[in-house]
Structure 1
Amino acid sequence: MGLITTVGLLVLCVIHNISCADDVTLVQVEQGQLRGQVLDAVVGDFQYLSYKGIPYAKPPVGKLRFRDPVYLDSWEGVLNATQHGSVCPQFNPITGVYTSGSEDCLFLNVYTPSLTPDTPYPVVVFIHGGAYIFGSGNTDLYSPDYLLANDVVVVTINYRLGALGFLSLDNEDVPGNAALKDQVTALKWVQRNIGKFGGNPNSVTLLGDTAGGASVTLHMLSPMSKGLFHKAIAMSGSATCDFGITYKPAEKAKVFGKALKCENVEDSAALLDCLQAADYDTFYSIAPTVLASEEITDVLFKMEHFTPVIEKKTGNNFLTEDYYSALTKGHVNKDVDFIIGYSSQEAVLLIDLYNAAYVDLYSRYQELFAPSEILIKSTPDTNLNVAKSVKEFYFGDKPVEVENLDLFVKYASSASIGYHAQRYANKWANFGRKTYFYIFDGFTDWNFFGQSGVKYGIEKASHFDIGYYIFYPESLNWSIDTSSVEYQVSKKLTTAITNFAKSSDPSVDGVAWPQYSASNKAYVTFGNDGLSVGYGPDEADYNFWAGVYKNARIPF
């Protein structure tokens, strides 16, 4: 396998007459030397090399705040890469916890079975989720042990979040999408350096969950990302999801400035100076609503204030074309094989919040049932008609109330994540590369967020659940029973991912995973009992939403 063993490590030390504690992990990268550490995997009898907290861009502070990232210069001496770097400032709305972190947070982590494999390993680069406002690539949730057992190099990254990562002034100084350009900069670092860790820069797979999955689909559209990766996996997120659609981002920046007491928000230079001098710890609590209606539609899974934008052309852009236009015209990075999918009931994540507040809110303001894209582009009459049709499709003659929470969860799962995935896949599959589709329906004790549904009689996979089968969450301190159903589900998922990274074929356990097309709509379901093949994932829901957009005269 090429995985480091204790005996092999001792042999290396004897042959080279070096200190095992310090020098066996030394790596020379473009910027200087790194010292990592040898770690025991939580599963299997093997060890791997870990390099944490590697800076890949200059700290985006002072006059670099909100601006495009700047590639990192060299450092002096040997960088100790045994601890994670700072997380980016963030507020987690699920836990209600704000973490100040540091603006100096552009770090990545590299994990490898061996620095000197016989054949370079495929590389998996993971982009964490968190609605573009929270999360990190750190091992508290994303330890790479399960994946490394299949002989790949794993890279996880931090990128700027919230206003720091996505504020746009719609000009050359701050065109927006700084966080996505952070990700691009990390991918450039991988291209230049991953060979030193035993990785193959010509075989890079992007893997993302939730907002990370949406980011993956955006890299597939961006000219800036072309050639930096070769395969892509988007889990529970795509470009058109409700939470990634923002109205008037430049106006939001002005409202944001007013909330921070900036004196001249109409002068973009003065506004930028003020925002760059402001205390970032005050940013998270500001909701820069532009429309009065946004005070109501500002709900989780439906709206975030700072998200990816379509940039004004300035010469150094991540994306300047509408998602639908790019996908329809084929202005995309076509040389990419692709997997996309979602969990069976994504919205279980927020079920307690639905019960406590959101169901009543939707019952009072039924235009909330209209997708964000339609709300922004349509008239009030159209929005109300759309909302009525959505309510009738998912609730029938039953009222929108907590007694029908299961119906609300089914609606929210499709509206927030589900149909958007197939909407994207149907267009991507037209470009001739391999496309695959999945639904994750495993349910065990490892469904950390899905457990919220049990008390309501729902035992389905939630948003975020799949990540805990692919990465080991150190903060949860789970014991691993390799004979358990949990671990067998994890093995199937991680084997499918690494098979895809190696060969562009994710088939596993003798089950041939058929390629997806807009006509056959082939997919696999990952369940407790293994994989099964189907055709037409949640087809009735998808066809309904396609009709909704057609009636609203919004391209689908």
Structure 2
Amino acid sequence: MLKLGILVAVAVFLETVSATSLGVVDTDGGKVQGKNIRLGYRRHMDVFRGIPFADIPGRFEKPKRHPGWDGVLKATEYRNRCIQVNLLMTDTRGSEDCLYLNIWVPHGRSVSTGLPVMVWIFGGGFLAGGSMGINFLENYLYNGQEIADRGDVIVVTMNYRVGALGFLSTGESDLPGNYGLWDQHAAIGWVNRNIRSFGGDSERITVFGESAGGASVNFQTLSPHNKGLFKRAISQSGVALCPWAINKNPRRFAEEVAIKVNCPTDEKMAPCLKMTDPAVLTLAGSLSISSSPDQPLVFNLALSPVIDGDFIPDDPSKLFNNMADIDYMAGVNDMDGHLFTGLDVPTINSPLVKTPIEDVKRLLAAYTKDQGKAGADNAYSTYTSNWGSKPSWETIKKTVVEIGTDYIFLVPIQAALYLHAANAKTGRTYSYLFSEPSRMGGIARPYPSWMGADHADDLQYVFGKPFSSPLGYWPRHRKVSGYIIAYWTNFAKTGDPNKGGQSVPTPWPQFTSTGHQYVEIHHDMNKAYVREKMRMRHVHFWTSILPNLPISASE
């Protein structure tokens, strides 16, 4: 017994002294050292927090390379997020000195080399968010440890400028906008140049993100400035074609902000805005959350990217040839629109109050306003065709969520997949629907029992929360999290979610211009979860029928 104890002690000692670690790493800005953590027998991970990928940005300017530092930078603390409004929009948080990234590098028996790299772009409506996401007792949402460890990939998360300082634009060269997209591009460029020193393969970089981060991923694939910087991309619940992803009239909002901060709206506007206190500017650019079926919340998202003739040279729908050689995966949550329509039409969340059919009509009229009465009438008949003469309360409420999901997310994402498949040369296309029911459904009061996956419900599974916080989840949640991590990291390794060393519950076919196949991701998925032509009738309505409806002269 004593002998065994000594052997165990020796084994533990040997593993401790030979802990696999990168130690001090050379980057093009200087030397950095992270923190090495032990994950299990012969499994370690190096975590680098707060590495600068660009200099402190000038106000409304593109990011510049970091001038570098002497000695060894201790990269052990997360850095501030970029300046933004707080949750209640009453104050600001964060800093202008915010262009930092974090890296997770897993090691087995020896120090890793040649690992695929996954670069995360957070969402938050281009208004808020940070490289680490929300944090509860040091449990950060975007902690890359579980994906890195389970999928054997390097994970990188980054900050970028949001709100007025990230996206305010006059539509002219004096304030061109898209500074946040340039920051993302600078971070991707930094990863491409430096990740080899961290054991990564610069030829296998996948950019992935959700919501505004998913749209950002798509913008990065479409921009000519990223040629050759990464190989693959995953957009979750957001693409460049979403109605909220491009601001077609940036000048109007810039003038509104200028008036709020006492700046003129003539040629002196841009110089005055550049001189304004950043916190005042940020608050002036905050979002109005009051909404109604006539003025849906999605139309309030005014601080988004713009077609600037530079980073985004043209309408995004015309730029898909730029991603012909990029493997692309995109998808949607089955009730992605609930978060928005629950604010526009609050009765959908109440089991005791009927949702008036008038509200359904008003919401559709707002979404189809460019097509006038013919648009609203056609939309209404499309969405109520299976109602019968006496639709139940639940049917009406679910229809409102379907309308929001289709308009805000699902239809534009399907359109992006069609365009990618049609323009692809070597790039492969994959489509998914995430349908694991919200954990809030039926228990927490604001959520009805019929809830599917709401907006952002996928994030906890992508980042492996059911494994890192097991007490908050059931076994089925660990199953779905394992499936997503396997598909995502296989895709990062090989461009095929089925191949890459992680076993998957069902083969996921490519989405092609002829066979519009997708996989539905759910905890009990099997071969029957491969489907095709996602909501084809509704996609056809929004993309083909609606735009071609005649508008009457009186309108």
Query: TM-score, normalized by length of structure 2?
Result: 0.83
Pair 1:390-2:386 in alignment: no
Deviation digits for residues 189-217 of structure 1 (CA, Å, limit 9, x no counterpart): 00111111111111100111111111111
Q: Report deviation, 1:346.
A: 0.6
Q: How does 1:439-478 map to 2 (within 5 A)?
A: 439-443=433-437, 445=439, 455-472=447-464, 478=469
Structure 1's 400 and 530: CA in aligned 2 closer, same or farther, altered over 3 A? closer
Aligned match of 2:520: 525
Paired residues of 1:191 and 1:228 also in contact (CA < 8 A)? yes
Paired residues of 2:185 and 2:226 also in contact (CA < 8 A)? yes
Structure 1's 401 and 70: CA in aligned 2 closer, same or farther, altered over 3 A? farther
Deviation digits for residues 238-290 of structure 1 (CA, Å, limit 9, x no counterpart): 1111222323112321222122101x3211xx32222122223233443699x
Pair 1:428-2:420 in alignment: yes
Structure 1's 40 and 479: CA in aligned 2 closer, same or farther, altered over 3 A? farther
Deviation digits for residues 403-458 of structure 1 (CA, Å, limit 9, x no counterpart): 9322211111111101111111111101232101111112364xx69976874222
Q: How does 1:265-280 map to 2 (within 5 A)?
A: 265-267=265-267, 270-280=268-278
Paired residues of 1:368 and 1:387 also in contact (CA < 8 A)? no
Q: Distance in 2 between matches of 1:105 and 1:449?
A: 37
Structure 1's 481 and 454: CA in aligned 2 closer, same or farther, altered over 3 A? closer
Aligned match of 1:123: 117
Pair 1:410-2:415 in alignment: no
Q: Report deviation, 1:391.
A: 2.8
Paired residues of 1:143 and 1:473 also in contact (CA < 8 A)? no
Q: 1:67 aligns with which of 61, 71, 78?
A: 61
Q: 1:27 aligns with which of 25, 28, 38?
A: 25
Aligned match of 2:4: none
**Counterpart secondary structure, 1:155:** strand
Pair 1:256-2:257 in alignment: yes
Aligned match of 1:16: none
Residue identity opposite 1:394 in structure 2: Y
Unaligned runs of 5+ in 1: 14-19
Aligned match of 1:506: 497
Residue identity opposite 2:519 in structure 1: V
Q: Report deviation, 1:473.
A: 5.5
Structure 1's 165 and 345: CA in aligned 2 closer, same or farther, altered over 3 A? same
Query: TM-score, normalized by length of structure 1?
Result: 0.83
**Counterpart secondary structure, 1:340:** strand
Aligned match of 1:55: 52
Aligned match of 1:283: 281
Residue identity opposite 1:539 in structure 2: M
Aligned match of 1:17: none
Deviation digits for residues 323-352 of structure 1 (CA, Å, limit 9, x no counterpart): 12223xx3x132101111111111233464
Q: Report deviation, 1:118.
A: 5.5
Pair 1:490-2:481 in alignment: yes
Q: Distance in 1 between matches of 2:37 and 2:357?
A: 49
Structure 1's 469 and 453: CA in aligned 2 closer, same or farther, altered over 3 A? farther
Q: Report deviation, 1:174.
A: 2.7
Paired residues of 1:450 and 1:465 also in contact (CA < 8 A)? no
Aligned match of 1:342: 332
Q: Distance in 2 between matches of 1:512 and 1:391?
A: 37
Paired residues of 1:481 and 1:487 also in contact (CA < 8 A)? no
**Counterpart secondary structure, 2:107:** coil
Q: Distance in 1 between matches of 2:492 and 2:192?
A: 16
Q: Report deviation, 1:111.
A: 0.7
Aligned match of 2:169: 168
Q: Distance in 1 between matches of 2:521 and 2:122?
A: 21
Q: Report deviation, 1:295.
A: 10
Paired residues of 1:310 and 1:321 also in contact (CA < 8 A)? yes
Paired residues of 1:257 and 1:265 also in contact (CA < 8 A)? yes
Q: How does 1:289-368 map to 2 (within 5 A)?
A: 299-312=296-309, 317-327=310-320, 330=321, 332-350=322-340, 352-356=342-346, 363=358, 368=363
**Counterpart secondary structure, 1:530:** coil
Aligned match of 1:89: 83
**Counterpart secondary structure, 1:189:** helix
Q: Distance in 2 between matches of 1:155 and 1:365?
A: 42
Q: Report deviation, 1:82.
A: 1.1
Aligned match of 2:352: none
Paired residues of 1:371 and 1:415 also in contact (CA < 8 A)? no
Q: Distance in 2 between matches of 1:150 and 1:345?
A: 28
Aligned match of 2:104: 111
Unaligned runs of 5+ in 2: 1-10, 134-139, 350-354
Residue identity opposite 2:457 in structure 1: D
Paired residues of 2:177 and 2:305 also in contact (CA < 8 A)? yes
Q: Report deviation, 1:229.
A: 0.7
Structure 1's 58 and 242: CA in aligned 2 closer, same or farther, altered over 3 A? same
Q: Report deviation, 1:358.
A: 9.4
Deviation digits for residues 91-126 of structure 1 (CA, Å, limit 9, x no counterpart): 366x66754111111111111013974641000001
Aligned match of 2:199: 198
Deviation digits for residues 123-149 of structure 1 (CA, Å, limit 9, x no counterpart): 000111111111112162111122112
Q: Report deviation, 1:46.
A: 3.9
Q: How does 1:208-219 map to 2 (within 5 A)?
A: 208-219=209-220
Paired residues of 1:451 and 1:459 also in contact (CA < 8 A)? no
Structure 1's 553 and 74: CA in aligned 2 closer, same or farther, altered over 3 A? farther
Q: Distance in 2 between matches of 1:499 and 1:120?
A: 15
Pair 1:146-2:140 in alignment: no
